[in-house]
Structure 1
Amino acid sequence: MAEWLVPLITFVLGALAAFARDYIGVRRESRRERDAREAERAAAVRERREEFELKHLVEVGELLREAHRALRDFAVGMEQCLKYGEEFPREADARLQSATGAVRAQSGYLLSDEVRAAVEELREAMAAAESWERRPTGDKPVVSFMDLKGPMERAHELISARVREIYAGRE
């Protein structure tokens, strides 16, 4: 009786061991595949996020330059208006309103809080320069491009730094 029992037990134990080995192997393979899919998804999300951010960083940089040019043209027109009695620069004013509105609308899409704050600071400085309020000590309009130089440089430097940071992460 023992002669046929030992081979049967050996066969059953061998089959169980093979089943356990295959089961563990399948689980490992499934885990590796799941991890690979999750890594691919994370990479795709990161890629979409970077593309979104790059697009809006470049767009806001261009809008800031356009707003600065529009403000300069408006300031020149207002100077001509105040000094020489020329007509109010309606076209420059409309262009300025459009440009600052576009900056305001697009700045909300910036993902970096630091960049968004710098752009908002610049936009507010431009709005203050545009408002043509009088200084308390005189009647000179509050339009100083020197006042805008610092915020403009800071906003553009932060935008450029973030773009470089994104591209450096892709290497």
Structure 2
Amino acid sequence: MLEARDAALQALDAGESKPAVDWLKIWPGRIAEQMPQDAVALRDALDRPLMVAGMVRNEGEPGGGPFWLEDDEGVLRAQILESSEMNGQDSVVRAVMASATHFNPVDLVCALTDADKVPYDLSQFVDRNRDFLVTKSHDGRTLRGLEHPGLWNGGMGRWNTVFVEVDSATFAPVKTVFDLLRPAHRTA
């Protein structure tokens, strides 16, 4: 994947755009009307961090999953959204959440350098429009706050991302102490 991206960037430098367009077509969300046309826009779309996220089938665990989301650049991208980022009061949103086939990432493989092996400035690829209200408690008091992008919920918002399915045997969540009693966490 990286070799193909780097070859597409080299082709752009040589004045050939077809390899860049072909490479971008493999990334979900790059629908035809969003496909960059000029070399500068193609380079901008290509030359960004990459994430391959291994997702398990949704079996009703709490949390988020893979969805399509328009980012702050107006590009439809594959994104990981937490349920707390969605308006659970909206019946359409609830239906979308209920129909989700896959769940939180179990494995992440990330490419953090450009074609010249120079590390990206990851702060340039954050979707700063991603934030959500959270409710927490401290000393028995309920507190509400605005949470800004975390690791994947916005922090990787403008990365080129693709989801792949991984076996659910690789997923053993611990959301509460009682989850430690599940067979996946027992040694014998």
Which TM-score tier does this pair reach, normalised by the shorter chain?
under 0.3
Bigger radius of gyration among the two: 1
Instruction: Pick 1 or 2: higher relative contact order, CA cutoff 8 A, min separation 6.
Output: 2
Higher strand share: 2
Higher helix share: 1
TM-score by length of 2: 0.24
TM-score by length of 1: 0.26
